[in-house]
């Protein structure tokens, strides 16, 4: 240990995932012997064996300390911030680390202070303005409160300031100091308010400004146009009002603007938007009306345009050479979906949900990969022109008025189609054609409320399904044997609820065969016979409102991932099986529940018997009324 006194730099950072762990007391012993240490880096090393030792404050030569993502907990020693030579401190991503900032003095050399994603709290001291060398201050996602001291705005060396997602309040200073080097200012997710006028003008090098999720209001200031280096501006989730801002409010170099979730009104004017580098524009969740002008589509670099949740009635399309994503959901569009939308050469994602479109006519092939038209008034049959969208991966036609018989062969030319949603089209009927090997291999298939009366045969070839929803149909009879092989290695969520399914045609074991199933919903059917056991991977098993009989199989004890079990309103009987996990038991307490992760248990309205013994676990809700349990609910401890 004596040799450690000469060490000046010590880097134990675990960048390669070796799961390094420092045993209790070892860190303090190391520090006590490294009296000349200047650089200490222990990022991603597990230091959870004990709090940060107070002796760290004795390292008078220390200049750099980084213990990022080290599972630190408890109160961080304040005097470490006041070490005479300290220049950078990184305590980020230690979610249980508490503490507050001390009073600073003007002799401090601190240049970088990163305390994001911790439980540091309290107000910022006014003396933070004495850190004249500070370049970086990151306090994101912590518990700081109060107003930001005006002295902070006079730190002329500051380059990056992030106070996002704390509990700061108040107004920004009306006459702030000049921050000539600040490039990034993030104040998102606080309680700042008031208008933005001269507050932002003295930031000549600012590139990134994020003020979303605050209480700022008033009209959007043209002062933003003076920030000549600004490339990204986010004012979303505030209370700005007034008309669409004049383009001079935005600097020439701007690349991204987000004004979503405000109270902006009026029509979008037909400006000649002189914003040649603008690639992303979000105007969603405002009160814009009228027509989207062609000039908006003509912005040369625009790739992403979002006007969801406004009151737009029409659009004048200019074939944008760069537009990649267009989202116009929840507006007031009517009639036929404009065919020129499908002619935008680079458009990959088009979202037109929750409008009043009545017809779809695809005249041109396009590059579209995602098309969402749910919640409209599309009627008649699914048009065969949909097969022109050769690159389509996601298609949603849910909640329309589609009718007629759907032959899934219509999708056979869409070899890349992975997600299909036809739910809530109650006038559709699915043609139960023989299995078709030319169909795409779906990952997600949503056919809820589609008037289906039997399990579709085309599912026999679906080997990659991850999510299948056949709920709220008219499917009757037993679940066929072949269905147990559908997505046997891939299926994660299966919803067959609200049908008339009576049981299982043939099942060799009570344990269902799907390997990675997480959610199984069989509620409100006509299931008879014993209660099947879901796979060990299952987290949510819902099988209430059926006619199941018999005992709960002891194999349920092995479901260590189970979070929710709802088997209420059946005719299950007997005692709940013993589930052993280092727990004492006796013949007088034959019913024992032990699922460590179980949070919700509903066994109401069955015929279960015996005392119910529940050891300590994370469960938050238990419903067992209308059974024949005797002896009440007994708590017992784990040995």
For 226-272, write each residue's pLDDT tens digit. 899 999 999 999 999 999 988 888 999 999 999 999 999 999 988 88
Which CATH superfamily hosts domain 216-332?
Ribonuclease Inhibitor (3.80.10.10)
pLDDT in tens, 423-480: 999 898 887 665 666 889 999 999 999 999 999 999 999 999 999 999 999 999 999 9
pLDDT band at 22 (very low <50, low <70, confident <90, very high): confident
Identify the pLDDT of residue 585. Answer: 39
Q: Is the pLDDT higher at 375 or at 388?
A: 375
Report the mean per-residue pLDDT for the chain.
89
CA dihedral 125, 126, 128, 130 (to 10 degrees): -140
Distance of CA 380 to the CA centre of its chain: 36
**Domain-by-domain residue ranges, the chain?**
216-332
Tell me if residue 196 falls in helix, strand or coil: coil
Tell me if residue 177 falls in helix, strand or coil: coil
Identify the pLDDT of residue 385. Answer: 87
Identify the pLDDT of residue 589. Answer: 41
pLDDT in tens, 84-142: 999 999 999 999 999 999 999 999 999 999 999 999 999 999 999 999 999 999 999 99
Give the C-alpha separation, 482 to 465, whole Å: 15
Give the Å distances, CA to CA, from 112 to 117, 131, 154, 481. Answer: 16, 10, 16, 64
Q: Is the pLDDT higher at 496 or at 380?
A: 496
Segment 180-204 shows an average pLDDT of 89
- 53 contacts: CB under 8 Å, gap ≥ 6: 27, 28, 31, 77
pLDDT band at 366 (very low <50, low <70, confident <90, very high): confident
pLDDT in tens, 499-553: 999 999 987 778 899 999 999 999 999 999 999 999 999 999 999 999 999 999 9
Q: Judge whether 193 and 217 are in contact, CB under 8 Å.
A: yes
Buried/exposed 344-375: b ≥16 CB within 10 Å, e otherwise: beebbbbbbbbbebbebebeeebbbbbbbbbb
Tell me the range of 144-158, 191-205, 501-515, 567-581 where mean pLDDT is highest: 144-158
Least-confidence region, from 46-50, 171-175, 482-486, 598-602: 171-175
Identify the pLDDT of residue 580. Answer: 35
Tell me if residue 33 falls in helix, strand or coil: helix
pLDDT in tens, 568-597: 999 999 988 766 333 333 344 444 455 667
Identify the pLDDT of residue 62. Answer: 93
Provide, rounded to the nearest whole percent, the portion of the chain with pLDDT above 90.
65
Segment 54-76 shows an average pLDDT of 93
Q: Is the pLDDT higher at 55 or at 147?
A: 147
Residue length of the chain: 639
Q: Is the pLDDT higher at 557 or at 422?
A: 422
Q: Which long-range contacts (CB under 8 A, 24 or more apart) does 259-264 make?
A: 259/220, 259/235, 259/283, 259/286, 260/236, 260/284, 260/285, 260/286, 260/306, 261/236, 261/237, 261/285, 261/286, 262/235, 262/236, 262/237, 262/238, 262/286, 263/239, 263/287, 264/220, 264/240, 264/288
pLDDT band at 36 (very low <50, low <70, confident <90, very high): confident
Q: Is the pLDDT higher at 639 or at 56?
A: 56
Q: Judge whether 7 and 30 are in contact, CB under 8 Å.
A: no
Identify the pLDDT of residue 582. Answer: 34
- The HSE-up count of residue 550 (CA atoms within 13 Å, CB side) is 12
Q: Judge whether 162 and 116 are in contact, CB under 8 Å.
A: yes
pLDDT in tens, 287-342: 999 999 999 999 999 999 999 999 999 998 876 678 999 999 999 999 999 988 88
pLDDT of 564 strictly over 80: yes
pLDDT of 638 strictly over 50: no
Give the C-alpha separation, 360 to 396, whole Å: 13
């Amino acid at each position: 240990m004596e040799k450690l006194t000469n060490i000046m730099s010590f880097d134990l950072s675990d960048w390669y995932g070796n799961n390094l762990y420092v045993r209790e007391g070892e860190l303090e012993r190391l520090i006590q012997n490294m009296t000349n240490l200047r650089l200490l880096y222990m990022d991603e090393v597990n230091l959870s064996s004990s709090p940060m030792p107070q002796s760290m404050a004795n390292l008078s030569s220390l200049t750099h300390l980084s213990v990022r993502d080290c599972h630190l907990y408890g109160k961080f020693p304040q005097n470490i911030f006041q070490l005479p030579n300290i220049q950078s401190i990184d305590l980020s991503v230690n979610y249980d680390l508490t503490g507050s900032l001390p009073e600073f003095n003007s002799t401090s050399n601190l240049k970088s202070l990163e305390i994001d994603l911790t439980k540091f709290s309290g107000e910022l001291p006014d003396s933070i303005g004495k850190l004249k060398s500070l370049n970086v201050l990151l306090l994101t996602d912590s518990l700081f409160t109060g107003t930001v001291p005006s002295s902070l705005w006079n730190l002329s060396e500051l380059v990056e300031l992030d106070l996002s997602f704390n509990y700061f309040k108040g107004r920004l200073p009306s006459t702030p100091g000049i921050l000539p080097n600040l490039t990034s200012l993030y104040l998102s997710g606080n309680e700042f308010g008031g208008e933005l006028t001269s507050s932002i003008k003295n930031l000549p090098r600012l590139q990134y400004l994020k003020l979303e999720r605050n209480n700022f209001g008033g009209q959007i200031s043209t002062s933003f146009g003076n920030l000549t280096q600004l490339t990204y501006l986010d004012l979303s989730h505030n209370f700005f009002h007034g008309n669409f801002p004049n383009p001079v409010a935005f600097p020439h170099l701007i690349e991204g603007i987000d004004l979503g979730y405000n109270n902006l009104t009026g029509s979008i004017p037909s400006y000649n938007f002189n914003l040649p580098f603008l690639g992303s524009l979000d105007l969603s969740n405002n009160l814009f009306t009228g027509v989207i002008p062609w000039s908006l589509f003509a912005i040369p670099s625009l790739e992403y345009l979002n006007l969801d949740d406004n009151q737009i009635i029409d659009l004048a399309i200019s074939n944008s050479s760069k537009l990649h994503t267009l989202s116009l959901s929840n507006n007031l569009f009517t009639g036929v979906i404009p065919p020129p939308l499908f002619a935008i050469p680079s458009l990959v994602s088009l979202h037109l949900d929750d409008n009043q479109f009545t017809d779809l006519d695809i005249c041109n092939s396009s590059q579209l990969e995602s098309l969402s038209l749910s919640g409209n008034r599309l009627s008649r049959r699914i048009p065969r022109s949909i097969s022109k969208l050769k690159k389509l991966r996601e298609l949603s036609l849910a909640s329309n008025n589609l009718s007629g018989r759907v032959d899934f062969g219509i999708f056979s030319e869409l070899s890349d189609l992975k997600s299909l949603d036809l739910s809530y089209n109650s006038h559709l009927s699915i043609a139960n054609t023989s299995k078709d090997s030319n169909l795409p291999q779906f990952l997600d298939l949503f056919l809820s409320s589609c008037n289906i009366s039997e399990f579709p045969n085309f599912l026999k070839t679906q080997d990659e399904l991850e999510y299948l929803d056949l709920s709220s149909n008219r499917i009757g009879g037993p679940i066929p044997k072949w269905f147990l092989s559908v997505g046997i290695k891939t299926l994660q969520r299966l919803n067959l609820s609200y049908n008339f399914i009576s049981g299982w045609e043939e099942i060799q074991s009570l344990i269902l065969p799907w390997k990675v199933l997480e959610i199984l919903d069989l509620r409100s059917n006509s299931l008879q016979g014993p209660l099947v056991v879901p796979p060990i991977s299952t987290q949510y098993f819902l099988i209430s409102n059926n006619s199941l009989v018999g005992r709960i199989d002891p194999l349920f004890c092995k479901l260590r991932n189970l979070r929710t079990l709802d088997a209420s309103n059946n005719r299950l009987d007997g005692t709940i099986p013993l589930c052993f996990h280092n727990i004492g038991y006796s013949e007088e307490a034959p019913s024992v529940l032990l699922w460590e992760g179980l949070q919700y248990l509903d066994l109401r309205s069955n015929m279960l018997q015996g005392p119910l013994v529940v050891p300590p676990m994370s469960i938050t809700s238990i419903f067992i009324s209308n059974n024949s349990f005797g002896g009440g609910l007994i708590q017992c401890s784990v040995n």
